Amino acid sequence: MWRTTPLHRREHPGSMDDHAGPELPELPPDPSFDDVQPVDGGTGPLFHRRYRVCIRDTDMSPEDLMALVTRDPNQLAPTEFARFRKVTGEEGGIEVGDEFVVRMPGP
């Protein structure tokens, strides 16, 4: 059975300063950046994507929903849309500093 997920895309002008994200923790002394590609080393436009959902008519509290999301994002996202694989961090749950590879279709 096919399950469809409607996706709506909008483009907004912006800059790295507009979407820089939160301050990162202090780096250890002499970190290696050998496997990191800087923004100016890439080609094409820089994309910043935000995804959101609207949840209606639920008995679940926002706190309960966030507990569910942070326990395992794969149980909520349709696999045709995105798949999350933790590559850094302790097993179970999502904590500050965890890293994920997110596989999703797109350009």
Which backbone phi and psi does 48 adopt, to 5 degrees? -120, 120
Residue 66 lies in a domain: yes
Its domain, for residue 80, covers: 49-103
Residue 14 lies in a domain: no
Residue 30 lies in a domain: no
DSSP 39: G
Residue 1 lies in a domain: no
pTM: 0.48
pLDDT in tens, 10-63: 777 777 777 777 787 787 788 787 887 777 777 766 666 677 778 888 899 989
Residue 84 lies in a domain: yes
47 against 92, higher pLDDT: 92
Task: Check residue 49 and give its pLDDT.
Answer: 67
pLDDT at 107 over 60: no
| Type and span of the H or E element at 70 | helix 62-71
Beta-ladder partners of 84 = 102
State the pairing for strand pair 83-88/99-103: antiparallel
Task: Write the CA distances from 107 to 41, 44, 45, 49, 104, integer angstroms.
Answer: 19, 12, 12, 12, 10
pLDDT at 71 over 80: yes
- Structure token pair of residue 24: 């990162």
Residue 23 lies in a domain: no
Residue 8 lies in a domain: no
Which backbone phi and psi does 70 adopt, to 5 degrees? -75, -20
Residue 44 lies in a domain: no
* Number of domains composing the chain: 1
